[in-house]
Amino acid sequence: MNRRRAPRPSSSPTVHTLTVHSPFVQGAFIAYAYANASSLTPAALAVWVPVAYYLVFSYMDGTEYELGKPWERFQRWRRLHVIIGSGKRSWFKPRIVYDDEKALKAAETRGLKPDALGGERCIFACFPHGVVSFHHGVLMTDTAGFMTKFPTFVTERRDLVASITLAVPGYRELLMWLGCVDAGKRTAKKCLKANKHLYVLPGGEAEQMLTRRGEHRVFLKRRQGFVKLAIEHGSALVPVYAFGETDMYHTTDFLMRPRKALMKHLRIAIPLFWGAWGSPVPKPGTLAVVVGTPMRIKKVEPEAITRQLVDETHAAFVDALRALFDKHKKQCGYPDAELEVF
């Protein structure tokens, strides 16, 4: 039997760098603003004082690397129904299909308990990424009733998103109000240790670049980080597939090689796409988000996790995702669809 352990990160010394979240940088910014305030006109002060306040106490607060700052009232806001909900004026009609609603409710109940009393968190692993990931919005709000049925799967869950999206002022706050945090491994572990559920998109930028209208492609064969995370923390894995996600836009392979090179070096996906009327507006349609049955994972200490264990658990998850896809594709409007795993 192969007992090789899964590779562990190198034990290189921690390097402390100055970032916008560093107290030194924040203090320097405040000192500079104070020193130059006397030279500004009242009109300029009226603009720059709120901007400076936002930059120092919100944009630079570093909460995206901790537990974020979700806002439940915003997640329940009815106006979101117009964009991604089931209202009469909503652009597309999302719905949620549950593979086993009772098992999902039991998993939510276990999530309310501390670890010492059999508590268990869930990692929702969702596919496909698509160009925008509209299914993300469906499961982080109450626009399709998910928050009503499983409240703590939203309020006590953190969604991992790319760092670049949290660097955009304004948009960063919207995402964080919806429960998003940075997708780094360290942040994910902090959330699980704080008894939070996780929502991950394992395919990431690579899967985003694979998006093709009318095709069902997931980038999963070499993505095992979320599996090892589940084993290390004893978290259940919940497969999720969104039928219709890849039909929101047309995409093209034009300049694919240079775009992949940029993605590799900058970790930024640059999909070329167009939607309704050749614009960035998505094509109207139905988005069916299928939430699978939780796969319970036995907790194993990090030093005892073997490559074989990770491979076997990953293979079991891939099989569960395929089974979920095949079981529900007909009722979701894709009877002849085939799932491609890259």
One-character DSSP codes across 295-325: B------GGG-BHHHHHHHHHHHHHHHHHHH
pLDDT tens-digit map of 38-76: 566 677 656 666 766 566 656 777 888 888 889 888 888
Confidence (pLDDT) at 11: 38
- pLDDT of 21 > 60? The answer is no
Do residues 184 and 225 share a domain? yes
The total number of structural domains in the chain stands at 2
Do residues 25 and 141 share a domain? no
pLDDT tens-digit map of 206-265: 888 888 998 999 999 999 999 999 999 999 999 999 999 999 889 888 888 888 887 777
Spatial contact of 95 and 85, defined as CB atoms under 8 Å apart:
no
Model's pTM, two decimal places?
0.82
The torsion angle over the Cα atoms of residues 271, 275, 277 and 278, rounded to 10 degrees, is: 10
Sign of CA dihedral 126, 95, 320, 337: negative
Domain C-terminal end among 8, 34, 61:
61
Q: Average pLDDT over the chain, rounded to whole?
A: 82
Cα Rg, the chain, nearest whole Å: 21
In a domain, 150, yes or no: yes
In a domain, 306, yes or no: yes
Do residues 249 and 293 share a domain? yes
Confidence (pLDDT) at 295: 96
Do residues 211 and 322 share a domain? yes
Number of neighbouring beta carbons within 10 Å of residue 39:
7
In a domain, 11, yes or no: no
Do residues 249 and 112 share a domain? yes
Give the residue numbers spanning the domain of 300.
Answer: 67-341
Q: Alpha helix (H) ranges present in 156-289?
A: 171-177, 185-193, 204-210, 225-233, 256-266
Do residues 95 and 175 share a domain? yes
Confidence (pLDDT) at 275: 85
In a domain, 250, yes or no: yes
In a domain, 232, yes or no: yes
- Model confidence at 18, pLDDT cuts 50, 70, 90, reads very low
Over range 106-130, report the average pLDDT.
Answer: 86
Distance CA 287, CA 248 (A): 9
Query: Which has more confidence, 57 or 152?
Result: 152
Do residues 226 and 285 share a domain? yes
Do residues 56 and 79 share a domain? no
Q: Which residue's structure tokens are 């429960």?
A: 179
In a domain, 7, yes or no: no
In a domain, 253, yes or no: yes
Confidence (pLDDT) at 286: 84
Provide, rounded to the nearest whole percent, the portion of the chain with pLDDT above 70.
Answer: 80
- pLDDT of 325 > 90? The answer is yes
- pLDDT of 324 > 50? The answer is yes
Do residues 207 and 239 share a domain? yes
Pair of tokens at residue 70:
């979700």
Do residues 161 and 269 share a domain? yes
**287: β partners:** 94
- pLDDT of 316 > 60? The answer is yes
Spatial contact of 136 and 199, defined as CB atoms under 8 Å apart:
yes
Do residues 120 and 247 share a domain? yes
Over range 24-51, report the average pLDDT.
Answer: 61
**159: β partners:** 180, 199
Do residues 194 and 239 share a domain? yes
Confidence (pLDDT) at 254: 86
pLDDT tens-digit map of 267-299: 778 888 888 888 888 888 889 999 999 999 999
Q: What is the CA 192 to chain-centroid distance, rounded?
A: 14
Distance CA 304, CA 30 (A): 48
In a domain, 2, yes or no: no
Spatial contact of 72 and 151, defined as CB atoms under 8 Å apart:
no
